[in-house]
Structure 1
Amino acid sequence: MADECPKCEDGLPAWLATFADLMSLLMCFFVLLLSFATMDAVRFKKMAESMKDAFGVQREVPAIDVVMGTSIVMTEFSPTTTPEPSPIDEVRQQTTEVEKQHLDVKDAMEAVAEQIKQEIQEQAEQLREELREEIGDGKINVEAEEARIVIRIEEKGSFPSGSDRLDPAFYDVMDRISGVVVNTPGKVIVAGHTDDVPISTTRFRSNWELSSARAVTVVHALLQNPAVDESRVVVEGRADSAPLVPNSSSENRARNRRVELIIERSNEIENAIPQTGPTPG
């Protein structure tokens, strides 16, 4: 009876089923690895197109944007190799209109400041040339400091000790100084200074009054030139509050007894800044 049954043909080898299972597991494993990795929009799109061509997928899947799904592994784990940045991650910087205005203001300030400094150096050199004799005798000192000219009138040859009366021979020097002041724009500060030795006379109760009186005397000599604008002039009495050197010797005290005529031009730099309106909110 068994001999009458037709013999069945041999089927596929038994190991082929195991091999197919293994390939399926490997494919699932690589799909999981891909899902855990950081997505790159450009590469994902290229891979999707390749898979579509290979497997005949007809449905188009747009991959312009990064996949919105977020896994726990993706948020808590970063791969050892950093992927190349996609165009979506690029950051571009540009200068705004407000920043351009600030840059223009800064350039204008620097240009005006440089021009004023050059003019101050030229005017200070002119003063030194005109007052060469007095500078050589130690009666006058001219300095250029940033945006101002300091004409330092020493007590020697200008005021008797403890007095606010200007030496008559010094008025000729004041005429030359006033000529430069007329041709130099800016505020004119006349500041009187003394040493730290107290004074108490029938005319001056303290060094504050003496320093102020000497500054006023210099202003009156300056204003003898009608071309000098009175509104530019400011008088200050500083007593011994701003010494040039410590009052530790008679020579140093003599240096501190002075009247400074300061031509201040810092306001010109501020006024030269372009005025910009408020930035719209």
Structure 2
Amino acid sequence: MKYDEEKQDMDLSTNWLITYSDMITIVLCFFIIFFTMTSKEMSVLSEIKDVLSTEVSTLTSENEKLKGEKASLAAKLFDLKNIETDVNTSEEDFITFLRENNLFSQVKIVQNEKGLLIRFKDSVLFNSGKADLSEAGYNVLNQIGDKLKTIDNDIVVEGFTDNVPIHTKEFPSNWELSVSRAIQVVKFFTEDKAVDEKRISVSGFGERNSIDSNDTSEGRANNRRIEITILN
């Protein structure tokens, strides 16, 4: 009897070991599973990091290439490595022509997301309310046309007006005037300078897409313009 009691007491005193052992096993299993999942997640994160790094590197390279293309167009056509500074001191023939004929302030060369833009105030190319090229317009476009033949880039010619209404038999609205002027520029390039017409597109926006206020005469003069964009 005494032996049985001692055995029973011993069994009771060791019961906790079984429970403890089960708990340790469960905890161990948990950490094994956690470690496995963490390893997989780290692997996935590593893959994501590699993909993102590749994408960033590609975008950076493309951006640098785009900058180079923009810069090369300005350099190729007008010998301008830096448009913002070089244009003021350039002795390139076209820019010299503008400066000597007091047209320098009316023509602007800028870089944008599309390519190289040459912006003319309408008075450089046309007489007021007309769509026939003026003598000065022929002279200016003649030089531009010679340069356009040296490259293969596509070209976009766009016409714009101010918001002052026009109601003539030839031009019932600003829209017709802007389109006609842009078309005259394109016809000069294709017919007189033999620029491939497949490279050129034309648009007229009338008074839309203004770049200045129409509340002042100076602003309206800036809005009346022809823009030639040489696409990247």
Which TM-score tier does this pair reach, normalised by the shorter chain? 0.7 to 0.9
Alignment of 1:158-169 (within 5 A): 158-169=125-136
Distance 1:114 1:21, change over 3 A: farther
Counterpart residue number, 1:31? 18
- Following the alignment from structure 1 to structure 2, what is the Cα–Cα distance between the partners of residues 125 and 18? 109
Q: Say which one has the larger Rg.
A: 1
Identify which of 62, 68, 72 aligns with 1:115: 68
Counterpart residue number, 2:193? 225
- Following the alignment from structure 2 to structure 1, what is the Cα–Cα distance between the partners of residues 160 and 63? 33
**CA shift at 1:118, angstroms?**
3.2
Alignment of 1:82-93 (within 5 A): 83=31, 88-89=36-37, 90-91=39-40, 92-93=43-44
1:189 and 2:141 correspond: no
**CA shift at 1:30, angstroms?**
2.1
Q: TM-score, normalised by structure 2?
A: 0.74
2:118 aligned counterpart, secondary structure: strand
Counterpart residue number, 1:180? 147
**CA shift at 1:187, angstroms?**
1.9
- Following the alignment from structure 1 to structure 2, what is the Cα–Cα distance between the partners of residues 29 and 198? 98
Deviations 1:193-215 (A, max 9, x none): 00000001121111111111111
Identify which of 178, 182, 186 aligns with 1:211: 178
**CA shift at 1:116, angstroms?**
1.9
Unmatched tracts of structure 2, length 5 or more: 81-86
Q: Which amino acid aligns with 1:192?
A: G
Deviations 1:96-142 (A, max 9, x none): 9xx69x84975764464343233234246537543244266323111
2:158 aligned counterpart, secondary structure: strand
Alignment of 1:121-270 (within 5 A): 121-123=74-76, 125-126=78-79, 128=87, 129=92, 130-134=94-98, 137=103, 138-223=105-190, 224-226=192-194, 228-265=195-232
Q: Which amino acid aligns with 1:262?
A: T
- Following the alignment from structure 1 to structure 2, what is the Cα–Cα distance between the partners of residues 124 and 28? 93
- Following the alignment from structure 2 to structure 1, what is the Cα–Cα distance between the partners of residues 180 and 214? 21
- Following the alignment from structure 1 to structure 2, what is the Cα–Cα distance between the partners of residues 258 and 168? 17
**CA shift at 1:159, angstroms?**
1.1
- Following the alignment from structure 2 to structure 1, what is the Cα–Cα distance between the partners of residues 97 and 13? 102
Aligned length: 208
- Does structure 1 conserve the Cα–Cα contact (< 8 Å) formed by 2:157 and 2:203? yes
Distance 1:238 1:245, change over 3 A: same
Distance 1:180 1:25, change over 3 A: farther
Question: What's the Cα RMSD here?
Answer: 3.2
Greater share of helix residues, 1 or 2?
2
**CA shift at 1:147, angstroms?**
3.7
Counterpart residue number, 1:40? 28
Q: TM-score, normalised by structure 1?
A: 0.63
2:123 aligned counterpart, secondary structure: coil
